[in-house]
Amino acid sequence: MATETLTLGKALNTGLRRALENDPKVVIMGEDVGKLGGVFRITDGLQKDFGDQRVIDTPLAESGIIGTAVGLAIRGYRPVCEIQFDGFVYPAYDQIVSQVAKMHYRSQGKVRIPMVIRIPYGGGIGAVEHHSESPEAYFAHTAGLKVVTCANPQDAYVMIQQAIASDDPIVFLEPKRRYWEKGPVDTEAPLAEAYPLHSARVARAGTDATVLAYGPMVRTALDAATAAAEDGRELEVVDLRTLSPLDLTAAYESVKRTGRCVVVHEAPGNLGLGSEIAARITEECFYSLESPVLRVTGFDTPYPASRVEEEYLPDLDRVLDAVDRTFGW
């Protein structure tokens, strides 16, 4: 093992570097990804080492970035597109839904689109409007796209390489407020032996209730589990990791043991991923449930100004309150 302590952001940088080294067809493109190294410095140093033909500074035109990447993918390249902030992805939404997601199907399998669209998402960094969105439901609802999100440095390092190596178009969501959190990373871990890309994992074992989370909320769920343990309740935390296709095998097994389930995400509750997850848990685990599946989400409003974002974001207290309610039925 070659274990290093890296931030999530540095783990992504290291994974991108490894992908560039291993496959000359991998190209990175986006606004300020080259000389600046990206707004969050995720691509820092890559243009210097691999040149401006492989790490490409693009115009400020998200639709142009994705459209160009589609052409590159058709010609055999593996483009990795960076959308600078979550709220900037919408000019490219038509390209993603109408071309990226459908080209393989439309061509009856003759054309593949092996591209990755990296999107820093979520709030918690005190940003201005359009910089703290959680658009995952739009993409998870779109047939033909795969959607994944990392929650820790090890997953960030492994999953970005797995996504780039995939022949499917993948929306890769990066929890921006976790970029600076550190953790151990085995940089020599064989990708085939790590968690498969489209699989969930148990982040913390427990016996009394199951908390399902993904991306930035995994840390919040783990903190809630630590706090609950002080009161004698052992919460099992499942990191979903993949939002489309949803892998709920670990969740089903957990809920059948604990009998209680809370789903947590930052995005608004109405028609959010939590609704689908709660429905599937209810269908599959109905006779094991001791209480209804509850959701802890953002509110059904536009993301608020940064000075009040902590009132909007699910936190430890809201998660623990939902857990308490599952025991009150």
Q: How many Å apart are CA 261 and CA 281, to the nearest integer?
A: 8
Q: How many Å apart are CA 294 and CA 261, to the nearest integer?
A: 7
Contact 272, 232 (CB under 8 A): no
Three-state DSSP string of 284-304:
HHHHHCCCCCEEEEECCCCCC
Distances (CA, A) of 92 to 62, 86, 95, 102: 5, 11, 5, 15
- Give the strand order in the sheet containing 209-213: 201-204, 235-239, 209-213, 261-268, 294-298
Contact 144, 104 (CB under 8 A): yes
Q: How many Å apart are CA 246 and CA 148, to the nearest integer?
A: 9
Give catalytic residue positions: 131
- The dihedral over CA atoms of 152, 216, 37, 13, expressed in degrees to the nearest 10, equals 10
